[in-house]
Structure 1
Amino acid sequence: MTTAAQVLTFGGVVALGAISPGPDFAVVMRRSVLAGRAHGMATAVGVAAGVFVWAIAAATGVAALVAVSAVAFTVIKLAGAGYLLYLGVKALRSALRSRDLRPDLNTGPAAGSGLWAAFRDGLLCNALNPKAAVFFVALLPQFLPSDAGLVPLLTLSMIAVVITAVWFLTVANLVAAARRVLGRPAVRRWIDGISGTALIGLGVRLAFTTAR
């Protein structure tokens, strides 16, 4: 049986993982600046959905297969790296556009792509990261007994989802609140350039990462 102390410890580890800088943060921030609060929050929910996918995968053994199978790990790794590179190049192209951006906060490179696209970016950014599989494979068994049933599994999975969602929803709202400043054309180009470079760097790093 999972104790309250174990639940708190599990929540603390998940929280540390969530707040660590990475592609999830870059995607949520960029969406929030360019398209507003709703898009940023949709991206945050997508990231949380990706965490839920990996938590369930870890508990059912799928994530363990990804972690130990060189082929599965490589396939997901390359797919994730490719998606991060795609997002990074897209951001850099936006930053390097020759035409001036109008200071209209209701338009922008990401504004017209819809809430579903924002959710998809968050989901794929997390779900295509095989390092998340390794993280949950290493973490969940420490807090679940060998004979754990469905309830403990769902409890820990939902804790991971809620913590992740709360953090990234907070990021989305804080960034959106400062959008009047961050949404200025020059600042937006700067954010696009920084986030694009970061995403490309993270994509390259993911492409060369290993399971161990």
Structure 2
Amino acid sequence: MSSMAQIVAFGGVVLLGAMSPGPDFAVVVRRSAVSGRGHGMAAAAGIAVGVFAWVVAATTGIAALLAASALAFTVVKVVGAAYLLYLGVKALRSALRGGGELRLDVPDPGGRGSWAAFAEGLLTNALNPKAALFFVALVPQFVGSRASWSDALLLSVIALAGTVAWFLVVANIVGTLRRVFARPAVRRTVDGLTGAALIGLGVKLAATSRP
């Protein structure tokens, strides 16, 4: 993979994939709205690291093994679905407890700061076997069957850059509007909607079968 056209094309496809509504988007929006743009950006960084790892795995064949193994696919799917359900239930509980005075220093839901947001973003992406299927299908279109480590690194950096760029934009837009999101009624709505979305995505992931 050496031409600029290939690099731009790969980056464009990854960016479109990042922009598709899904658990990554829900996590960044909720973190940014509830805990501020810093936590949203930390979640964005975690998601980008997860994407980086998936591209490396796809380029080196590890992700293909996951996709081909019924047991491995099922384990990742079940754990990932359980994690999304956990996040969704946590958001719904927060919505039910929401309210109170208008504040712009809403505590971090997990109480552990930006590292918790980073870990949440990383796990949300890393425990999604659909990401493995996406990159297993995408990467071979841009590299041969014997991709070098330089190819893997280049593709991974491109994927990381595109993903983090998009989610940083999302985190900053939502963070800029935080005065609106800090209102109790709005905060409850955000928690309720993202909680329902994460639970729905978790159920959908649990029902996913290997192609």
TM-score range, shorter chain: over 0.9
The residue aligned with 1:114 is: 113
Cα deviation per residue 1:68-127 (whole Å; 9 max; x = unaligned)?
Answer: 111100000000000000000000001112x63332111245273311100000000000
**Given that residues 36 and 111 in structure 1 are in contact (C-alpha distance below 8 angstroms), is that contact kept between their aligned partners in structure 2?**
no
TM-score (norm 2): 0.96
Which residue identity does 1:193 align to in structure 2? G
The residue aligned with 1:61 is: 61
Quote the offset at 1:59 in angstroms.
Answer: 1.4
Q: In 2, distance between residues paired with 1:100 and 1:11?
A: 42
The residue aligned with 2:178 is: 179
Q: In 1, distance between residues paired with 2:159 and 2:80?
A: 21
Cα deviation per residue 1:132-167 (whole Å; 9 max; x = unaligned)?
Answer: 001111111111123432212211110000000000
**Given that residues 34 and 183 in structure 1 are in contact (C-alpha distance below 8 angstroms), is that contact kept between their aligned partners in structure 2?**
yes
Q: In 2, distance between residues paired with 1:100 and 1:4?
A: 51
The residue aligned with 1:87 is: 87
**Given that residues 35 and 111 in structure 1 are in contact (C-alpha distance below 8 angstroms), is that contact kept between their aligned partners in structure 2?**
no
Q: In 1, distance between residues paired with 2:115 and 2:108?
A: 15
Quote the offset at 1:211 in angstroms.
Answer: 2.1
**Given that residues 59 and 139 in structure 2 are in contact (C-alpha distance below 8 angstroms), is that contact kept between their aligned partners in structure 1?**
yes
Q: What is the aligned residue count?
A: 211
Structure 2 portions without partners, runs of 5+: none
TM-score (norm 1): 0.96
The residue aligned with 2:34 is: 34
Equivalent residues in 2 for 1:125-204, closer than 5 Å: 125-204=124-203
> Identity percentage over the alignment?
62
Q: In 2, distance between residues paired with 1:100 and 1:16?
A: 36
SS at match of 1:96: helix
The residue aligned with 2:103 is: 104
**Is 2:204 the partner of 1:205?**
yes
Alignment RMSD, CA only? Answer: 1.3
Over 3 Å counting, the alpha-carbon distance change for 1:183 and 1:172 in structure 2 is: same
Which residue identity does 1:185 align to in structure 2? P
